[in-house]
Structure 1
Amino acid sequence: MKDLIGTTVMVHPELTQDPVNKQGQMGTITHLVDEDRLAYVRFKNDVIGLYSTDALLMLIPPELVVDKLRTEIGIFEMDASEVVDILEMYQLHATRIPEVQQEALDWAMTHDRISKAIVFSVEDRIGFQLDRPDQQQKPGRGR
């Protein structure tokens, strides 16, 4: 789960109780509290908020996006231009530049069908990693 530190996230826009009033805004995970499924998020103005991981949204991992699109494209009723947009979003995300990653996530969130296909919560990501320990990053090996 430590690989989530530094991840660009968006506070769920419909969050009803937000400790620092950042609904719909982007930030970066700075620390995870594993046992409580909480994450500290730093925002552009250096404000830090503590959030439940189910209140934080992120792009699905890049290694899953092509398979997900291949198997579920019919479910989301996407056209070719939306698939191209998704691939461009992941090119932006791959830069590892926080501002550019925020642009990619923001772009995804502005398109309903795209966000349903490639955005999920940090909680979902943690659950996915725990369910598939064979897919966790090995020490000394990049993805």
Structure 2
Amino acid sequence: MTDHELLGTLVLVHPDLKDHPAGREGDIGIVVYVDSLHNQVYLRFTDEAEAVYPSDALFLLKESEQLFSRESAGTNSATLNGYKDLFKIATLRKMGRSTDIWNALEIARDNPEIWPASLVSVEESLGLRHNQYIRR
């Protein structure tokens, strides 16, 4: 995903984010600007408030195909309720309307057990997370 593709996208502010001055942990916002050079994403919320976050503090929904992929197989089979929530998210994700994506993000937010299977950080989706290698 590129910076421009991210504009207008609904994202979830990390629910466990600590000590952020905006205090919008767990809220859903719309991306209005991305400054990948400084690793900042500008969000607007439904009450017209705005805030700036680092890209690793924001989550997107994974693509429907990735929700039940082999990579996430260990995380999405923990409980029946988790599996049901993943199924609901996949269904809403496929419908693709803004209200459906909003509802899917709320389901994911309210079930931390399925975060690894259902959410991906904006940092990772933009390709800003790099593998670090330690040399001797």
Structure 1 length-normalised TM: 0.74
What is the aligned-residue identity percentage? 26
Residue number in structure 2 paired with 1:139: none
| Aligned with 2:44 (options 42, 66, 84) | 42
CA distance in structure 2 between the partners assigned to 1:111 and 1:13 by the alignment = 11
**Runs of 4+ residues deviating >4 angstroms:** 128-131
Aligned position for 1:90: 90
Give the Cα–Cα distance (whole angstroms) in 2 for the partners of residues 26 and 72 of structure 1: 24
Partners of 1:99 and 1:75 in 2: how far apart?
A: 26
Which residue identity does 2:91 align to in structure 1?
A: Q
**Offset at residue 35 of structure 1 (A):** 0.8
Unaligned runs of 5+ in 1: 132-143
Deviations 1:59-116 (A, max 9, x none): 123343332xx34323554356643431321221333333321210110122232222
Q: CA RMSD in A?
A: 2.6
- For residue 52 of structure 1, the aligned residue among 54, 62, 65 is 54
Name the SS for the 1:35 alignment partner: coil
Structure 1 residues 48, 14: closer, same or farther in 2, change over 3 A?
same
In the alignment, structure 1 residue 116 sits paired with structure 2 residue 103: no
Cα distance 1:82–1:16, how it changes in 2: closer, same or farther (>3 A)? Answer: closer
Q: Using the alignment, how far apart are the partners of 1:80 and 1:111 within structure 2?
A: 12
Matched residue pairs, number? 129
Residue 9 of structure 1 contacts residue 28 of structure 1 at CA under 8 Å; is this kept in 2? yes
More helix by share: 1
Give the equivalent residue in structure 2 for 1:103: 103
User: Where in structure 2 are there 5+ consecutive unaligned residues?
Assistant: 132-136
Structure 1, 90-99 or 52-61: larger mean CA deviation: 90-99
Tell me by how many angstroms 1:8 deviates. 1.2
Counterparts of 1:125 and 1:91, CA distance in 2: 21
Structure-1 residue corresponding to 2:134:
none
Equivalent position amino acid for 1:118 in 2: S
